[in-house]
Each structure stands twice: as structure tokens, then as C-alpha cells.
Amino acid sequence: MELWYTEKQTDSYGITAKITETYVSEQTDFQKLDMIETEEFGTMLVLDGMVMTTDKDEFVYHEMVAHPALYTHPNPKHVLVVGGGDGGVIREILKHPEVEKAVLVDIDGKVIEYSKKYLPNIASGLDDPRVEVIVNDGFMHIHDHKNAYDVIMVDSTEPVGPAVNLFTRGFYQGIYDALKEDGIFVAQTDNPWFKADLIESVNRDVKEVFPIVRVYWANVPTYPSGLWTFTLGSKKHDPLAVNESSIPEIDTKYYSPRLHKAAFALPKFVEDLVK
């Protein structure tokens, strides 16, 4: 008998993958967590029925959360990741030698635990001496740390369950206050095919807080529609002003110096959403 996992991405559309093994299927204190082995994408982390990451395509998302902001900031010494318990964004942050400390705050310790066990290539940086892992509410951590970080990255699920508060104007204001005077923040902001209203509202809210706001995109096959957006808010530094020749070639599979500015060139229908 064949077993298939299906993510119903809208009421009338979804993606499906053949399962070869189920490692974990557990209701944590915060969400339904499944860790499964798929024939096409390798190990897959699923939270509340939504694909979070897979062995095969994880590098796209994690690289694009981390590197555009870190190569825009001239000296990112202290970096915070809210969510991201799988450790992929942390792994990418650690490729930047100027980063002295990276703090990860995830509300669900089970995501961290099972990622270390079943996604070791993604979670490889969580035990690095430059990393502090905190199991707590990222919203409250932001509130309690004013003027503390050079860069803040929000690696959250979609705005359901414990992530609802991470898509509010109040949260973006809290991020602004937690950043130093030239700080930068970036968040995943879903896809324009099914969540156009979300992209519009986030862009509007972030523009009320940050003087420089840029939206960029990447192709993540296992995320709804495959076209995924990110929103960057900055107090001083514009990612479009970065000199491409100043970006070093590092060990990546998706991000590159040539892609840095190209990712901010939006398809026309997405550009219209954020004008």
C-alpha cells in the first residue's frame, strides 16, 4: 500500500508527496508536528499540516532569509532569529565571520529536538559556540531586548497558531525598538498567488515603521505556489545600494552576489501589491 502526504494549500488546491517512513507524529504544546521521509524531497518537517522544510529544497529558503540582510548590513555582529527551530537560518548566519553571536528563540522546543535528530544537515549550527538557543516566546523576547541586535530575522510559520502575533504592526514596532540605530529586519511573507492580502497588509504595516522597505522573492518548490516572498525593513541601509562586487562568494546553492539585487526585481503583479 502506498502512503501519501497532502498539504491542502487552499480549499481547492494542494501538493502531495509519497511517504516512505514516518519518524514522528506528535501534538506538542503548541502545534501538530510531523517528521516524515518522502521519496521526492527526503526528510520533511510538517507543522500543523504545512510543510516547513525538506532535505531537498531547504537551502533556498534558509539562504534567502539570511544573506540579503547580512550582506546589506555593514557590520552585523549580533543577530536574532525568531522561530527557525530547524536551525537552517542559523547555519547560514554562521557563514558570516563578522557575526559574533546569533540568538535563536523558538517557542516550541520539540522542533529543535527533532530537527537535530532527523534533519542534522539543517540543524548543524545549533551547537556552535557563537549560538545561543532559547526556548521561549519570540514576541516577548523582542519586547524585552531594546537596542540589542544588528539584524533580526523572523523565520515563522504562516500566521496561524503560535505565529499569529508575528504578523502584526505591533510586532514590527517591537522589532524596530530591538534593533540598533542602523538595524535591519527580514521576515518571510508568504506567496502572492494565494496570500496577496497578507503581502499587502504586511508591506503597509512595515512601511509605517521602517523608512526603507524592500520585498524580494525566491523559488521554493514545496511552499504554496513555489513563489515565496520576503520583506526587509531597514533603518538606514538599502539592499539595492549594495555593491555587488563587495559580496564574497560563499558556500551557497541559491544565493549569489549576482542574485542579491536580482531577487528584488519583482514580477509586475507582485510589484503592484507593494506599491
Q: Does 155 count as an annotated binding residue? A: yes
Secondary structure class of 66 (helix, strand, coil): helix
Q: Does 189 count as an annotated binding residue? A: no
Secondary structure class of 235 (helix, strand, coil): coil
What is the distance of C-alpha 249 from the center of its chain?
A: 22
Q: Does 78 count as an annotated binding residue? A: no
| Whether the predicted pLDDT of 157 surpasses 80 | no
| Cell numbers linked to 257 | 552576489
What's the CATH class of domain 3-54? mainly beta
Give residues with Cβ within 8 angstroms of 79, minimum separation 6.
Answer: 70, 93, 99, 101, 102, 103, 149, 150, 151, 152, 153
> What pLDDT is recorded for position 27?
98
> What pLDDT is recorded for position 29?
96
> What pLDDT is recorded for position 272?
96
| Whether the predicted pLDDT of 105 surpasses 80 | yes
pTM (predicted TM-score): 0.95
Average pLDDT, the chain: 95
| Whether the predicted pLDDT of 166 surpasses 70 | no
Is residue 150 part of the annotated active site? The answer reads: no
Query: What's the whole-number mean pLDDT along residues 179-202?
Result: 96
Q: Does 67 count as an annotated binding residue? A: no
**108 vs 22, 47, 79, 174, CA distance in Å?**
20, 11, 20, 21
Residue ranges covered by each domain of the chain:
3-54, 58-273
> What pLDDT is recorded for position 252?
98
> What pLDDT is recorded for position 1?
76
Amino acid at 275: K
Q: Does 237 count as an annotated binding residue? A: no
> What pLDDT is recorded for position 168?
79
Give the residues across from 8 on adjacent strands: 14
Q: State the DSSP string of 117-153.
A: HH-TTTSTTTTSTTEEEEES-HHHHHHH-TT-EEEEE
Q: Does 156 count as an annotated binding residue? A: yes
Query: What's the whole-number mean pLDDT along residues 183-197?
Result: 96
Give the confidence band of 161 by pLDDT, cuts at 50, 70, 90: low
Fold of domain 58-273: Rossmann fold (3.40.50)
> What pLDDT is recorded for position 170?
85
Q: Does 138 count as an annotated binding residue? A: yes
| Catalytic hit among 150, 155, 190, 205 | 155
Q: Does 157 count as an annotated binding residue? A: yes
